[in-house]
Structures are given as structure tokens and as C-alpha cells.
Amino acid sequence: MLGFKRAAATSVAAAFAAAFAAAVFAVGAFHIADRSAAAPIAACADSAVDIGSCTIGLQKSTMIYNGKEKIDPVTVTFNDAELVQGTDYTLSYSNNVKIGTAKVKITGIGNYSGSKTLTYKIVPKKLKSLTASAEQGSVTLKWEKVATCTGYKIYRYDPDAKKWRGVKNISSKNTLTWTNKNLQPATEYKYRVKAYMNVGGTAFTGESTQADVTTKGVSIAKLSGLKASATSNSVTLSWNKLSGVDGYKIYRYDSSTKKFKGVKSINSANTLSWTNKNLKANTTYKYRVKGYKKVSGTTYTGTSAEVSAKTPKATTPVAANGQLSVKGANIVNSSGEKFQIRGMSTHGIMWEDFSNILSKDSLKVFRDDWGVNTIRIAMYTEEWGGYTTGADFARQAKEKVNNGVANATDLGMYVIIDWHIMNQDGNPQKHQSEAVDFFTEMSKKYKDYNNVIYEICNEPNNNQGTVTWNANIKPYAEAVTKAIRKNDKDALIVVGTGTWSQDIDQAEKNRLSDKNTVYTLHFYANTHTDWLRNRFVDCYNKGLPILVTEFGTCDASGNGGYNAAQTKKWFDVLDKYKVGYVNWSACGKSETASAFKSGTNLSKISSGTSQLTESGKLVREHFRKLAGKS
């Protein structure tokens, strides 16, 4: 019975507890339903909502620095209803004064639990007073300083891509100007500039300020005062200075294409004249000249002025032919036509009175009576008071050379400066350093002359030991040529060959690279006959440019064995191929090779044949025939 009563009592208690709990649940449910009209809460007091599952947003996300705490307002919603700060959550801000990343922590309270942290940016202030000024090819931006920042970022609008592109990053806040160069004239450009601050490796940029500007257009005035003056082989143009230009462009009319073609671009606004050289005599030339300005890689030109000039009829060899050069196996004039040198060589200018032949009066007789177009100045290097035998001899030799060049130039004749190596210095390398110095000096002095020719080694030979083209002559020639080309880019250079300038076949097999070099052949008619003529023809046919800078009408000694028949055979073959030749020698020495009789006043030779030897008469007659004088 006791057990039954205890069990009955327990059951009653349990029933009472269940009924009480149901009543409490009903009252609780009534209050929850009533509160839901004000705010969303947890469905059960024992089950709070995680604040992280709510929708949380910042009002601005980016705020402007002003040295004070920056509070970015927060909105929290749950089931489309907004929660209440202080009832459902609290806010805690940090790192929200300085430029950088600020934080706000949202912590659930009441029926909400947990927390969530959001970040927002604090950025530098916006620039003030951005201005843009433009020139033809540039835009300069200026702005006021932003006190708290690292520097400034500059953007330019790309109309093709329809995007803003960064064009410059300025790393100092104190730099308040920048120039955008290489722009196109008469073009609109848009820029935005914003301050930035580097914090922890991240750049925080402020709001941009925009400026639009149009670059100036290019305006070039028409050239004025254009004039032209002419010589038989050149035209000199002159004009008035244009302001605001970089230089001038010159065009010449080409009758073959019936168009004006550019012939010269002058890169200075202060250069107001130009000479067009190497022209044909008795020819009319038309020119146009205009100013130009280069802006951002594009060249703009003004209106041209036009002028014509006629070159007069040529009266001298140089006036008629201009600068000589090499084309194939021949020397050609400035028009590209084959040109045959017809010359006389002095004897050694340091001997006796032999240099007197270089007087202007005597050279004029050679030019006008003989039909000679070239004089060769034989400057011995080691023998008979040669250039290398002492400072006084060198000084005297240079004076004689310069005098001869001056007189030949005045008369419009070509002149060969001959480094005349002979018996004692048959290896040109013996005095290579002196030769380099000499031709450096000569090429500096005569670099602007169109009539000077450099013969850098007369007759290499084996008198003092074996001398070959490959081992000795070519290396020497390369060194001297290099020295000349530093100053004179286009003059003819003549290089001697082995065995007294007879071994042109060795040079043919291993030529120099210089484009205006010719190779020396010497002959004396009574010694060097068919065998050397055949060698000449073979090398010419292989394209070797050859010049006979010395020939005699007799045997190789220069005295005895006068042979007119063999000389004429040489004339015939050389004339056939338009290869030039120079006769040894224009002096009155008592030997067969001399052109003048002993005792002739070399400083004032006369026209005609009265002063001439048989050799002189033969050479004069042939030269006159070639020149159309007989």
C-alpha cells in the first residue's frame, strides 16, 4: 500500500507540473507574439540569432580624412526588419582616425549573439584648384598641396578605349606640377589627379579632380627672302630666319619624275644658307625651301618659297666634274659618268727647283695648253731631304704641298698628294706612324675640298726585305685610310701595290673595304709591255678600280730606252677602258723621262713644244687629243 500511495503521489505531481508548464508556455507565447510587431527576435528565449546571419551594411565605405574620428554608420536587418542599436547590437570602432583601413565591430545583444567586423577606408582629401595649361605638344598640370598624403596619381582619358589610364605617379606631396609631353597639337586632353597615401603597402587614394584642355595648333609662316647664286657646279641658297621653327627642309625639282624631292634637312633655325654641290654646268635647277617644326614625333611644315638658278658653263675640270668617286672598276664624276684622269707628276718637290712647276702660271699652261686635269705632287718620304728625315724637311715639304694644292684648286684642277716611298722605305710600314699623322693633318685641312686625292704609298718594293700585299701593304693601307676617313669621308684614296706598283693582281684577290679606294699601277713603256698590259686588262675585267699614277715613255730607270710605240699601246688600252694616267715627270732633269729640256724655267713654262723633250711632246700631243684641243 505504501508503494502504491507513493506512486500515486508522484503521478499527481507530474501531472500538475505538466499542466503548469503548459500554462507558462501559453503565456510566453502570447508575449512573444505581441513583441514581434516591434522587432524580430529569436523564436525561443533559449535560442538567440547569430548577428553574423543578419544583413549588415556600411553607409559610406569610404570617408575623407580630417584628423578626427571617422564614424561610418551601420545598418543591421533581419527578415527585412531593421534591428535597433543598443537593444539588438552594439558598435565598436577602431583605427578610424588616420588614413588607412578603419574597423567597426557589430556585437549582438538581447536576442542576438555573436559578432561581425566590417572595414572601411579613410582616404586623403580631394585636390583643390587643379589647372591645365597647354602648348603645341604638351600640357602642364598644377594643383594645391594636400597636407596629409604621400603623393599624387595622374590619369588621362583614352578616347579610343573609353577608359581612364594612369600616366604618372608622383611620389612626393611637395611636387605640385607635372608636364605631359609628346602630345599632338590641336587635340583635347582630359586629366584627373588624386592624392594618395601609402599605408602598409597599400595606396589609399582620394577623390579625383578633373581638368580638360586643348593643345595649341602648329602655325608656321611662309619662308621669305629666298635667293640663289650659282657656280658651274654648285648652287647656294639663302633665306630669312623664321621664328618658332626647328629648321628648314630643302627640295629640288627632279625633271625625270616631274616632282620635287627632298635633298637636305637643316636642323637649326639659325642656319640660313646651304650649298648644293656637284651639279652639272649649264643646267637650270629649281628649289623649294620651307620651315618645319617637330612636335611629339610628327613633323609639321609651313608654306614653301621657290627659286631657280642656272649653273654657268664649266671652265675648269673640277667645275665640270665635281667630286670624283669609284663606281665599278672606274673613277666617275659627280654625275656618275666615267672620268679619265690626265695628269702630270712633279719630280721630288724637295729636289733642286722641281717644286717650281707648281706655280699657278705653269699649272695654267698644263690645264689650258696640254689639256691636263690633274697635278701629282711627289713628296719623297726618306730620300733626298724626304719628309721623315727631319722636322725642317717636313715643314718645308708641307709648305710646298699646300702651295701646290692651293694653286691647283684656284685653277679648278685635281691634285694628288703623293706619299712617295722609294728604295729606302719600300715597306710602307716603316714610316706608318708618320704617314698616319701626315694624312690626318692633310685630311683635316682639305676635308671640304672636292679636288684633293690622297696617294698613300707610291711604290712598295722589296729593296729592304720582302714586302707583300697581305702582310704589309694592306694592313698599312687600312690604318692610313682609317685616319683619313675620320675627317674626309668621300675623297679618292690611291693605294700602291707590290713590286713598284705592278702587283695589282695580289690586291685584286684581297681588296680593301673602303668604297672610294683605287689601286696603283705603274709602267715604263720600254720595260713593261704586253705582260703587264694583260695583267691590267684581267684585273680591270674582274672589277678592280685602277689608276696609273706614274708612267714613263722609256725604261724603268727613267733614263734611256725611249719607246713611243709601246707608250702608244699603253695609251690605247687605258683609253679603251677609260682608266686615267699621270706622266713622270714635269721637270727639266737630264733624263729621258723628263717632259722639259734642261734649263727650262719651271715656274713659268710656255705653251707649245719649244721647251719640250721628245717624251714631253708625245705626252702633250696625246693629252691635247683627248681634251679635244687638236
Beta strands in 381-495 (DSSP E): 414-420, 452-455, 493-495
* Helices assigned H by DSSP within 542-593: 564-576
Q: Which homologous superfamily is 227-310 in?
A: Immunoglobulins (2.60.40.10)
CA distance 605 to 627: 20
Q: Please compute, for residue 22, the number of CA atoms within 13 A of its CA located in the half-sphere on the CB side.
A: 6
Cβ-Cβ contacts under 8 Å for 534 (sequence gap 6 or more): none
**Catalytic choice (550, 591, 614, 621):** 550
CA distance 42 to 45: 6
**Catalytic choice (455, 459, 508, 591):** 459
What's 49-123's CATH class?
mainly beta
* Residue 455 annotated to the active site: no
Model pTM score:
0.60
Instruction: Give the pLDDT of residue 33.
Output: 33
* Residue 434 annotated to the active site: no
Instruction: Give the pLDDT of residue 279.
Output: 85
Please tell me if the domain spanning 49-123 has the same topology as the one spanning 317-626.
no
CA distance 74 to 51: 13
Beta strands in 135-220 (DSSP E): 139-142, 151-158, 163-170, 177-180, 188-199, 202-205, 209-214
Instruction: Give the pLDDT of residue 42.
Output: 46
CA distance 307 to 239: 11
CA distance 509 to 474: 12
Question: What CATH number is given for 317-626 in this structure?
Answer: 3.20.20.80
Instruction: Give the pLDDT of residue 46.
Output: 58
Cell numbers standing for residue 243:
621664328
Maximum Cα–Cα distance across the chain? 184
Distances (CA, A) of 88 to 36, 51, 111, 299: 13, 9, 7, 72
* φ, ψ at 131 (rounded to 5°): -125, 155
Question: What CATH number is given for 131-214 in this structure?
Answer: 2.60.40.10
Instruction: Give the pLDDT of residue 44.
Output: 42
Instruction: Give the pLDDT of residue 13.
Output: 35
CA distance 175 to 197: 14
Residue with cell 733642286: 352
CA distance 603 to 608: 16
Instruction: Give the pLDDT of residue 383.
Output: 87
Cβ-Cβ contacts under 8 Å for 95 (sequence gap 6 or more): 101, 102, 103
Q: So where are the chain's domains?
A: 49-123, 131-214, 227-310, 317-626
Question: Looking at the DSSP assignment, which residues form a beta bridge with residue 103?
Answer: 94, 119
Smallest CA-to-CA distance from 417 within 473, 508, 480 is with 480
Instruction: Give the pLDDT of residue 278.
Output: 78
CA distance 186 to 137: 9
Low-confidence ranges of the chain (pLDDT < 50): 1-39, 41-45
Tally of CB atoms within 10 A around 379: 24
Collapsing DSSP to helix, strand or coil, 474 comes out as helix
